[in-house]
Structure 1
């Protein structure tokens, strides 16, 4: 977590901001505390998106649908406001790093048993998301948080709203309808999508977890090269354990109708290994990753609230300049905050 910068807001609705957790194409994410003392994550939507009336309308509809998503393996939506100067959404705070951070920075590719349990948790998360009538549209390693008892999926219900701006990550800096390396062929072709697009992304995510790279390229690959490989089905599964290759290959089928449903993925994994909760006694994560989670938890517990100058005491580094400066007004009267 980084300290709040001089231009960062100190309050979003009824939530007191404590520090900055990150920043992405959709907006900035802050650690915050509700009026009742609950620790939450607040995502503040970027100006470029907030200025589109169609985005606000769809954001409201999608987030309302997201509040109905339940389940063990997602970060639930707790509150939101689509009418203020800067739209925002509040989710439960998940104390864990992203899969991207674990694999790219702190540990490396995960062992086979960890990838199997990851697949089981993600399949169940997709089942819950799809069951609420939503499609995630941007399932990728940075939208998957790693915890002691399993993965958690975040940012569902927002990507579709960005489509109303008429842009994509390839043509518009602020709108996401998929991430190169983790999008389906139908997304790459700008075609209509079904829940099967998330299953394709799952295949790419599992490949990343097992090898440290997307099946369609590395960070050095050009956008054009990645998209061409995706639409032509030229995935590279080198390094994927043999026991996982059949599952990943069927998830990466070019025809959406040939991809398995989340329930079918659970069956293919086997009931004893599909549920990460069954692995907690045997440590589904490597010891080094577990140790890092413990350190993060201690840092959160010992961190202070923002001081009088607004700088959070936990974390380090200087955050990049935000795209907004004024504090965000409180939401209009609505459901009680968590």
Structure 2
């Protein structure tokens, strides 16, 4: 049984927990001080530290999922993706965790609460391109995110940062020993591709659908299929028609009709023509 954590706790003799930054479906993220770096005079010793949530800490594959997230993300070096530092174990608490950079700003879901009618084109487009850049880079490295949603996007002075690859997978590596993802279903229904909710495997196309839902919500102020999956979508007023054609293709609920990649969507929103369909 894992001991519950409290503010002020010291993990692995090094990390002093300060406060909770966020709680997700699989993990809890704390702000922590790296006391080792402080001893050596490092002026910026604060890190973000992720542990399994209480329910997942009791899951047989939970610790493997946390390491899988660390393993997937540590190889991604991109300004739009959170940077991870190290994976560690606190033996006295029988607790695994990893550390990552402390991001500053607010998550996109919080920003959208302040902007209920959506963002204007001149604000929306740069943010959309940064998010798509980050996801296209991950796909180019063979990494699928699996849970693209506003709560997993940080908006700060330096731009957009994509984080929380906890449900992600590698297309290049078959997986870690002992990891059984079929026992764990934590897709966010509002942004998950319909085929995922029907039990299909994660794919690049499913990530396309997720990020398209986020982009639509950023432009329109509400999720695309908030009412019915079969309801025809309206083009957000500030979105140029050539951009809408590409975004609408990415929002196709039928994966067979979702014939656009993240990189192609990014090019279309940057103003380049996309000829995926008439």
1:255 matched residue in structure 2: 255
The runs of 4+ residues in structure 1 deviating greater than 6 Å are none
Q: Does 1:246 align with 2:245?
A: yes
Q: Does 1:11 align with 2:25?
A: no
Question: Offset of 1:195 from its aligned partner?
Answer: 1.2
**Higher RCO (C-alpha 8 Å, min separation 6):** 1
Q: Does 1:167 align with 2:184?
A: yes
1:185 matched residue in structure 2: 194
Question: Residue 209 of structure 1 aligns to a residue in which SS?
Answer: helix
1:44 matched residue in structure 2: 51
Structure 1 residues 235 and 205: CA distance shift in structure 2, 3 A = farther
Structure 1 residues 69 and 155: CA distance shift in structure 2, 3 A = same
Paired residues for 1:136-151 under 5 Å: 136-151=145-160
Distance, in Å, in 2 between the alignment partners of 1:271 and 1:93 is 33
Contact kept in structure 2, 1:237 and 1:245, CA below 8 Å: no
Question: Residue 217 of structure 2 aligns to a residue in which SS?
Answer: helix
Q: Does 1:72 align with 2:83?
A: no
2:173 matched residue in structure 1: none
Contact kept in structure 2, 1:207 and 1:240, CA below 8 Å: no
Paired residues for 1:204-223 under 5 Å: 204-217=213-226
Structure 1 residues 96 and 80: CA distance shift in structure 2, 3 A = same
Contact kept in structure 2, 1:18 and 1:33, CA below 8 Å: yes
1:22 matched residue in structure 2: 22
Aligned residues: 248
| Structure 1 unaligned blocks of 5 or more | 169-175, 218-225, 273-338
Question: Offset of 1:182 from its aligned partner?
Answer: 0.7
2:110 matched residue in structure 1: 101
Distance, in Å, in 1 between the alignment partners of 2:232 and 2:55 is 34
Contact kept in structure 2, 1:137 and 1:197, CA below 8 Å: yes
Distance, in Å, in 2 between the alignment partners of 1:89 and 1:183 is 26
Question: Residue 30 of structure 2 aligns to a residue in which SS?
Answer: strand
Structure 1 residues 215 and 60: CA distance shift in structure 2, 3 A = same
Structure 1 residues 106 and 250: CA distance shift in structure 2, 3 A = closer
Contact kept in structure 2, 1:59 and 1:158, CA below 8 Å: no
2:172 matched residue in structure 1: none
TM-score when scaled to structure 2? 0.78
Structure 1 residues 259 and 92: CA distance shift in structure 2, 3 A = farther
| Structure 2 unaligned blocks of 5 or more | 38-43, 170-175, 273-278
1:301-330 deviations in whole A, cap 9, x for unaligned?
xxxxxxxxxxxxxxxxxxxxxxxxxxxxxx
Q: Does 1:112 align with 2:121?
A: yes
Question: Offset of 1:22 from its aligned partner?
Answer: 2.0
Structure 1 residues 237 and 180: CA distance shift in structure 2, 3 A = farther
Distance, in Å, in 2 between the alignment partners of 1:165 and 1:40 is 32
Bigger fraction of residues in strand? 2
Question: Residue 95 of structure 1 aligns to a residue in which SS?
Answer: coil
Structure 1 residues 204 and 114: CA distance shift in structure 2, 3 A = same
Distance, in Å, in 2 between the alignment partners of 1:96 and 1:38 is 18
Structure 1 residues 189 and 6: CA distance shift in structure 2, 3 A = closer
Contact kept in structure 1, 2:7 and 2:17, CA below 8 Å: no
Paired residues for 1:265-280 under 5 Å: 265-270=265-270
1:24-44 deviations in whole A, cap 9, x for unaligned?
222222112223143221122
Distance, in Å, in 2 between the alignment partners of 1:15 and 1:119 is 35
